[in-house]
Amino acid sequence: MDKMTVLITGSKGMLGSDLCQYLTSYTMHNIIPTSRKDMDITKWEEVWNAIKKNQPDLIIHTAAEANADLCEEDPHHAFLTNTMSTQFIATSCRNLNIPLVFISTCGLFNGKKDSPYTEYDPLKPLTVYAKSKTKAEEAVRAIWGSHFIIRPGWLFGGNIEHRKNFVAKIYSEAKGKDELVSAADRFGSPTYTIDLARKIIEVVEMGVYGTYHIANFGMCSRFEYVSEIVKCIGLNIKIKPVDSSYFPRYAPVPASEALENYNLNLMGLNDMRSWREALHDYISARFLRSL
Ligand SMILES: NC(=O)c1ccc[n+]([C@@H]2O[C@H](COP(=O)([O-])OP(=O)(O)OC[C@H]3O[C@@H](n4cnc5c(N)ncnc54)[C@H](OP(=O)(O)O)[C@@H]3O)[C@@H](O)[C@H]2O)c1
CATH number, domain of 63, equals 3.40.50.720
Rounded to 5°, the CA angle 67-219-8 comes to 45
Give tens-digit pLDDT for 134-162. Answer: 999 999 999 999 999 999 999 999 999 99
Q: Does residue 234 sit within a domain?
A: no
* Ligand 1: centre distance to CA 81 (Å): 10
For the chain, the domain total comes to: 1
Q: Does residue 173 sit within a domain?
A: no
User: Could you tell which of 9, 14, 40 is best to mutate to test the pocket of ligand 1, judged by most ligand atoms within 8 Å of the CB?
Assistant: 14
- pLDDT at residue 136, as a whole number: 99
Which domain, by its residues, includes 22? 5-165+190-219+257-273
15 Cα nearest atom in ligand 1: 16
The whole-number average pLDDT for the span 98-109 is: 98
The whole-number average pLDDT for the span 108-121 is: 98
- Assess whether pLDDT exceeds 80 at residue 1: no
Q: Does residue 66 sit within a domain?
A: yes
Residue type, 279: L
- pLDDT at residue 39, as a whole number: 97
Give tens-digit pLDDT for 9-37. Answer: 999 999 999 999 999 999 999 999 999 99
Is 46 near ligand 1, meaning CB less than 6 Å away? no
Q: Does residue 123 sit within a domain?
A: yes
156 Cα nearest atom in ligand 1: 3
Is 42 near ligand 1, meaning CB less than 6 Å away? yes
Q: Does residue 78 sit within a domain?
A: yes
Q: Does residue 157 sit within a domain?
A: yes
The whole-number average pLDDT for the span 232-251 is: 94
> What are the backbone dihedrals phi and psi of residue 240, each rounded to the nearest 5 degrees, phi first?
-105, 125
Closest-CA residue, ligand 1 atom 43, reads 13
Give the pLDDT band (50/70/90) at residue 2: confident
CB 177 within 8 Å of CB 285: no
Is 233 near ligand 1, meaning CB less than 6 Å away? no
* Ligand 1: centre distance to CA 222 (Å): 21
Rounded to 5°, the CA angle 266-9-60 comes to 25
- pLDDT at residue 10, as a whole number: 98
Is 15 near ligand 1, meaning CB less than 6 Å away? yes
Q: Does residue 284 sit within a domain?
A: no
Is 13 near ligand 1, meaning CB less than 6 Å away? yes
Closest-CA residue, ligand 1 atom 5, reads 154
- Assess whether pLDDT exceeds 80 at residue 254: yes
What pairing do the DSSP bridges indicate for beta strands 220-221 and 187-188?
antiparallel
Query: What whole-number distance in Å separates Cα of residue 6 and Cα of residue 34?
Result: 10
Is 149 near ligand 1, meaning CB less than 6 Å away? no
Q: Does residue 110 sit within a domain?
A: yes
* Ligand 1: centre distance to CA 234 (Å): 29
The whole-number average pLDDT for the span 279-283 is: 98
- pLDDT at residue 92, as a whole number: 98
Residue 268: Cβ-neighbour burial (10 angstroms; 0-12, 13-18, 19+):
exposed
